[in-house]
Structure 1
Amino acid sequence: MATYVAFLRAINLGPHRKFPKDAIAEATRAAGFDGVATHINTGNVRLETRMRSRARIEAALEEAYLADRGFAVPTIVLTPAELRAVVDDAAGLAPDHTGRHYVSLLKDEPTAAAATAIEARSEPGVLVVVRGRAVHLVVDTDYRGAAVDNTVVEKVLGVSTNRNVTVLRALVSKWCS
């Protein structure tokens, strides 16, 4: 069986999109996945499956989560190697940066033109770098006040979910050894 890490988008926001990590784990197991584990309550799930198609895994999870919660839960799946590469890229992008580093994980790899367009939004205090299905946002200011955030990333590149690089490092340490 292969191991994957799934990232759920837009859960536990406001009173109507609640999906606690224990319920996520239960719904994931009910959908036929094994080796299920969650990390904090932001929609990070480790799972094992015989499926090899990322698109099939995402579709199966999204179907299960919709059935369980009654609302759509876009899900982005990475292999442990892909997640490790994202974290490795993060370490090399701005090693001396003292601000905050976020990563928007994309459902689909962007075209070269779209990647260039979002990177062009970099400005003093905001570095935007695309590496495969990951958009690194390195900001000196509060993330919510930055010129580029996950909302902008989604408008330009499509479905994504955002995590602080500290969380991604923890997942690599916990699930990708």
Structure 2
Amino acid sequence: MPTYLAFLRAVNLGAKRVFPKDDIRRVVESVGFTGVETYINTGNVRFSTSMRSRARIESALEAAFAADRGFEVPTIVFSQEEFRRVAEDVAELSAAHPGLARHYVYLLKEPPAHDERATIEATSGTEGRMVVRGRAAHALLRPGYQEGRVDPLAAAKLLGVATNRTHTVVTALAERWC
């Protein structure tokens, strides 16, 4: 049975979008998925299912999360192989850009079209560089970027449905689950 990784967007931010990892695990199991594990409390979950369609898996999870929580929880699903490639890109980009202050990885529900990709990458500037690879957009932030800004390169609004993780979390998840 195939194994997938799901990333929940905008959970555990503030008092109104609370979704503890034990509850996430319970809801994923209630959909019939097996081998469910979570990692830290930012909406990372691994599971197995006989379903093959990423869109159907995302829809099933989003419906179950909304029913349980009372608010929408956009969910981005990757196969283990897809996520392994994201982690390989993280390692490659980090090695090619030594001395980064931060490396954020935006996990995208859909890959951007060619012209959208160019627009996203054009947000690069003195604070850092955006690099799009498939369904991941990498914010490579240089020392001196305005720390504390949620979207220092102003690229997030161009990405569609997405959630971000640090390169450290992506690497740890790939080592743990892929």
TM-score tier, shorter chain, comes to: over 0.9
1:173 alignment counterpart: 175
Whether contact under 8 Å (1:128, 1:138) holds in the other structure is: yes
Alpha-carbon shift at residue 125 of structure 1 (Å) = 2.8
Q: Pairwise CA RMSD of aligned residues? A: 1.3
1:119 alignment counterpart: 121
Alpha-carbon shift at residue 58 of structure 1 (Å) = 0.3
Whether contact under 8 Å (1:126, 1:146) holds in the other structure is: no
Alpha-carbon shift at residue 163 of structure 1 (Å) = 0.3
SS in 2 for 1:144: coil
Whether contact under 8 Å (2:130, 2:137) holds in the other structure is: yes
Structure 2, unaligned stretches of length 5 or more? none
Matches within 5 A, 1:27-176: 27-95=27-95, 96-140=98-142, 141=145, 142=147, 144=149, 147-148=152-153, 152-153=155-156, 155-176=157-178
Structure 1, unaligned stretches of length 5 or more? none
Rounded Cα–Cα distance in structure 1 between residues aligned with 2:32 and 2:60 = 9
Alpha-carbon shift at residue 3 of structure 1 (Å) = 0.1
What amino acid is the match of 1:135? A
Alpha-carbon shift at residue 55 of structure 1 (Å) = 0.2
Q: CA 1:70/1:145 → structure 2, altered by over 3 Å: closer, same or farther? A: closer
Rounded Cα–Cα distance in structure 2 between residues aligned with 1:6 and 1:145 = 22
**TM-score (norm. length: structure 1):** 0.94
What amino acid is the match of 2:161? V
Rounded Cα–Cα distance in structure 1 between residues aligned with 2:53 and 2:148 = 33
Alpha-carbon shift at residue 145 of structure 1 (Å) = 6.3
Whether contact under 8 Å (2:65, 2:72) holds in the other structure is: yes
| Per-residue deviation, residues 45-104 of structure 1 (Å, max 9, x unmatched) | 000000000000000000010011000000000011111111111121242133110000
Rounded Cα–Cα distance in structure 2 between residues aligned with 1:98 and 1:4 = 30
Whether contact under 8 Å (2:36, 2:48) holds in the other structure is: yes
Q: CA 1:143/1:118 → structure 2, altered by over 3 Å: closer, same or farther? A: farther
| Per-residue deviation, residues 129-170 of structure 1 (Å, max 9, x unmatched) | 000000000112225165325xx32x2121000000100111
Rounded Cα–Cα distance in structure 1 between residues aligned with 2:33 and 2:148 = 34
Runs of 4+ in 1 over 6 A off after TM superposition: none
**TM-score (norm. length: structure 2):** 0.93
